[in-house]
Amino acid sequence: MSSSPEPVLIGEAVRLTGVSAKMIRHYEALGLLPAPPRSEGGYRRYSADALQTLRFIRSARDLGFGTGDIQGLLTLWQNPRRASAQVKRLATRHIAALDARIRDMQAMRDSLSRLAGCCPGDEQAECPILDELAQPHTESP
């Protein structure tokens, strides 16, 4: 767990987890992180468990998981009776979504590369890139 067994203030939580104070408060508002107890002065105090949860959330965000999936992963992580099949299902679904995004981005890159190849890039006003962007397009299904 944390190198700090005593609860820490938000600034120290930021330092220990790499999660910004704004995002920590956001995760609390979303319910991903329980609201921490407060000091007599009203400052949030984060326990070692809260810090570990923040690290978990950050790792999941770094892998591109959305809020809903992170909530699901947190629930599974906190349940010692979980089935790893549930975790794998979430992960493989996310991989499929990433693959789809990669394909979409590759198609965008290919289109833009083709357009850039058609543009002379000189001092003339004519620009095939702008001409293409101005064309009406139909929505793809």
35 domain residue, yes or no: yes
C-alpha torsion 10→14→17→19, nearest 10 = 110
Average pLDDT over residues 12-38: 96
The answer to whether position 90 is within a domain reads yes
140 assigned to some structural domain: no
The answer to whether the beta carbons of residues 115 and 129 sit under 8 Å apart is: yes
Is 78 inside any structural domain? no
List, in sequence order, every beta strand (DSSP E) within the chain.
none
My answer on whether 12 and 57 are in the same domain is: yes
Same-domain check for residues 4 and 35: yes
Same domain, 55 and 2: yes
Q: Between the CA of residue 17 and those of 46, 77, 132, what are the distances in Å? A: 11, 18, 46
**pLDDT value at residue 56:** 98
Local confidence band at 116 (pLDDT 50, 70, 90 cut-offs): very high
Same domain, 60 and 2: yes
The whole domain housing 13 covers 1-65
How many domains in the chain?
2
Measured distance CA(71)–CA(59) in Å, rounded: 13
Ramachandran angles phi, psi of 38, nearest 5° = -115, 155
pTM score, two decimals?
Answer: 0.80
